[in-house]
Amino acid sequence: EAGVAQSPRYKIIEKRQSVAFWCNPISGHATLYWYQQILGQGPKLLIQFQNNGVVDDSQLPKDRFSAERLKGVDSTLKIQPAKLEDSAVYLCASSLDDQVYSNQPQHFGDGTRLSIL
Amino acid sequence: RKEVEQDPGPFNVPEGATVAFNCTYSNSASQSFFWYRQDCRKEPKLLMSVYSSGNEDGRFTAQLNRASQYISLLIRDSKLSDSATYLCAVNIPIGYSSASKIIFGSGTRLSIRP
């Protein structure tokens, strides 16, 4: 079974520039998550999709971050304009579903390491 | 209070030792609990789900205590290769829907010395 695919692996940009990340989840997984992980911290959920609908985006800085999953499969996360504090690893994960009682674990991609200069 | 809390460590123990981590959660409606392992500069990988009755996988044992709202991970006969960061993850119901989101703790760093 192919895992979660993410690209690019690394990205270096200057502050105020824009950047986009791409994620393709495991086939058949309805739920897709984007997490931000700052060095030394646990992953922080930015946005969660169930098929092509947003389930939770309460921690997404909406003035600069946006994400979409138009056809309910792959997804893109964009930052525009980037700030120094956005330097982090951006992890995409997927799971079969997100129901409270289904006990479905997440599977993560390799992540994109973003550095802002 | 944070939704999910872990002792950041680091725990530095000799090879062969037994080590235990706890993780507390604040939402009593949480139903799914996981332990992930994360190696340096790698993505988190599922170590084990935590079931109500407790479960064991080789040298690893996970327990859930609903009354006190914590989960635990016990590693017996620790190996050098167990050195990593251990993340607990808990699902939090979203509003009044049947959906939930998964929130991670900050991770506990474990270092096994020869």
Of B34, B44, B94, the CB nearest to A43: B44
Residue A99 confidence (pLDDT) above 90: no
Cβ of residue A2 closer than 8 Å to a chain B Cβ: no
Q: What is d(CA A58, CA A79) in angstroms, rounded to the nearest whole number?
A: 16
How large is the average pLDDT for residues B79-98? Answer: 93
A97 pLDDT tier (thresholds 50, 70, 90): confident
- Contact: A100, B106; criterion CB under 8 Å: no
3-class SS of residue A70: coil
Distance from CA of A82 to the nearest CA of B (A): 22
- Contact: A91, B34; criterion CB under 8 Å: no
The confidence score (pLDDT) of residue A26 equals 96
Upstream peptide bond of B93 is cis (omega within 30 degrees of 0): no
Residues 44-63 of B with CB under 8 A from A: 44-46, 49
Residue B47 confidence (pLDDT) above 90: yes
Residue A8 confidence (pLDDT) above 90: yes
The confidence score (pLDDT) of residue A102 equals 81
Q: Which two tokens stand for residue A110?
A: 């390799």
Of A40, A91, A105, the CB nearest to B43: A91
Q: What is d(CA B32, CA A82) in angstroms, rounded to the nearest whole number?
A: 34
Residue A1 confidence (pLDDT) above 80: no
* Cα dihedral A104/B23/B87/B52 (nearest 10): -30
Mutate to test the interface with A, among B25, B102, B108, B109 (most CBs of A within 10 A): B102
The confidence score (pLDDT) of residue B95 equals 84
Residue B55 confidence (pLDDT) above 80: yes
| Span A27-49, pLDDT tens digits | 999 999 999 999 999 999 999 99
Q: What is d(CA A30, CA A8) in angstroms, rounded to the nearest whole number?
A: 23
| Span A50-61, pLDDT tens digits | 998 999 999 999
| Span A66-91, pLDDT tens digits | 999 988 899 999 999 999 999 999 99
- Contact: A100, B93; criterion CB under 8 Å: yes
Cβ of residue A43 closer than 8 Å to a chain B Cβ: yes
Give A-chain residues touching B93 at CB under 8 angstroms: 100
Instruction: Give the 3-state secondary structure of B25-48.
Output: ECCCCCCCEEEEEECCCCCCEEEE
Residue B64 confidence (pLDDT) above 90: yes
Strands B108-113 and B84-93: antiparallel
Mean pLDDT over the full length of chain B: 94
Q: What is d(CA A83, CA A116) in angstroms, rounded to the nearest whole number?
A: 7
Give A-chain residues touching B52 at CB under 8 angstroms: none
